[in-house]
């Protein structure tokens, strides 16, 4: 009996020395979260919070391919094309937002720590069905938005409103590419929802309308200098025809820029101000929409500060002018209906 008790005590001591057994999900697929129903990620860290964050990041890597492919597709779509800098900027924002929305569905389902002083472990899971339903709903919303805007672009409406509608239709289908690629990852079939509209046709419709837009320029005030040249370049970059004769243009882009120059106590020269633009219908003089950009720059030399101010404004105009003008069309459309 003493021998048996001693053997039992020895076995217990050996078991204690080995410590707790690792759960199955540490190194293999968790039995209660099968891969056909869940995507999962694992994280390990000195704190529980760090382990949780790393588990979420590990799962998010599954979607990094879709994110990078979508971004590359959008850049390729924009390359060498006039009038789409603003479109590219808005698409980039939406791609990031869409990815964040899907990752919000990730849950930390398991945590574990082997022994005192050891690392924490965490398991992050994403329900394929729930994530797929969210992505399908998003895609269907974008398809409905596309259909509505195609109808708007074909109606007998003022040109800015038609251009706005065609832009929004193209924009919606470009945004659609990202959730579609993510759905192909979530959906075991890998198919997702096939596209109903051809990007090439939407792009052609948008560009043909944009090519009809003839805009004159009127600079009422220019305290910085060079704003007419800057806006003319912005219109050309947007794919909009700039007519030198105001009276010959159906629409007029009116601009005014103020500028304040001062020198700070530490010897830096500063330039700051605001560029205001308004789009008018030439015949009636009605303002379709207005927008403004504030700018500020500094340099040791006063001349360099002005150059930097103009460069900053040029960047704003190149990236945002088309998007701003399109928004004017949206606002006008809502007012007229």
Q: What percent of the chain has pLDDT over 90?
A: 64
Characterize 108-128 residue by residue with b for buried, 16 or more Cβ atoms within 10 angstroms of its Cβ, and e for exposed: bbbebeeeeeebbbbbbbbbb
- pLDDT category at 44 given cuts 50, 70, 90 is very high
Which residue stretches of the chain are H helix? 2-18, 48-78, 85-103, 128-154, 159-186, 199-211, 227-237, 302-336
Q: How does residue 132 score in pLDDT terms, banded at 50, 70 and 90?
A: very high
Average pLDDT, the chain: 85
Cβ within 8 Å of residue 162, ≥6 positions away: 152, 153, 155, 209, 329
Q: Where are the beta strands (DSSP E) in 206-268?
A: 214-222, 241-243, 251-263
74 CB neighbour count, 10 Å cutoff: 21
pLDDT digits 0-9 by tens, 174-188: 889 888 988 999 998
Q: Identify the residue with better confidence: 326 or 76.
A: 326
Q: For residue 14, is pLDDT > 50? A: no
Q: What confidence score (pLDDT) does residue 256 get?
A: 96
pLDDT band at residue 219 using 50, 70 and 90 as cut-offs:
very high
Rounded to two decimals, what is the model's pTM?
0.78
Q: List pLDDT tens digits, range 76-100.
A: 555 445 445 555 555 555 655 656 6
Per-residue pLDDT tens over the stretch 266-279: 999 999 999 999 99
Does residue 112 contact residue 20 with C-beta atoms inside 8 Å? no
CA neighbours closer than 13 Å in the CB half-sphere of residue 315: 8
Q: Which domains does the chain have, with CATH numbers?
A: 28-127 (3.10.28.20), 129-210 (no CATH), 214-336 (3.30.160.150)
Lowest mean pLDDT among 10-14, 56-60, 133-137, 287-291: 10-14
Token pair listed for 254: 């009116």
Task: Look at residue 331 in the predicted model and tell me its pLDDT.
Answer: 78
């Amino acid at each position: 009996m003493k021998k048996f008790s001693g053997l039992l005590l020895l076995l217990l001591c050996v078991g204690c020395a080995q410590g707790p057994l690792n759960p199955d999900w540490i190194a293999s697929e968790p039995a209660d979260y099968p891969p056909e129903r869940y995507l999962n990620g694992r994280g390990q860290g000195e704190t529980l919070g760090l382990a949780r964050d790393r588990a979420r990041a590990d799962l998010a890597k599954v979607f990094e391919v879709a994110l990078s492919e979508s971004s590359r597709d959008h850049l390729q779509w924009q390359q060498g094309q006039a009038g789409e800098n603003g479109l590219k900027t808005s698409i980039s924002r939406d791609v990031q937002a869409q990815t964040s929305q899907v990752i919000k569905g990730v849950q930390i389902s398991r945590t574990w720590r082997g022994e005192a002083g050891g690392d924490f472990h965490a398991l992050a899971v994403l329900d394929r069905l729930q994530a797929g339903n969210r992505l399908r709903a998003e895609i269907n919303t974008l398809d409905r938005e596309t259909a509505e805007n195609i109808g708007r672009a074909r109606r007998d409406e003022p040109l800015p409103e038609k251009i706005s509608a065609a832009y929004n239709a193209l924009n919606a289908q470009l945004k659609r590419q990202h959730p579609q690629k993510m759905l192909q990852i979530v959906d075991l079939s890998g198919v997702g929802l096939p596209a109903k509209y051809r990007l090439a046709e939407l792009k052609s419709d948008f560009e043909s309308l944009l090519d009809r837009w003839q805009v004159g320029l009127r600079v009422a005030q220019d305290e910085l200098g060079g704003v007419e040249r800057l806006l003319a370049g912005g219109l050309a970059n947007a794919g909009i025809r700039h007519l030198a004769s105001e009276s010959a243009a159906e629409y007029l882009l009116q601009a005014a820029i103020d500028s304040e120059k001062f020198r700070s106590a530490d010897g830096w020269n500063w330039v700051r101000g605001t560029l205001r633009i308004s789009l008018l219908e030439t015949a009636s003089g009605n303002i379709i929409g207005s927008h403004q950009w504030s700018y500020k720059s500094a340099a040791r030399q006063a001349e360099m500060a002005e150059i930097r101010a103009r460069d900053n404004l040029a960047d704003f105009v190149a990236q945002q002018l088309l998007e701003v003008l399109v928004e004017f069309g949206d606002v006008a459309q809502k007012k007229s209906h």
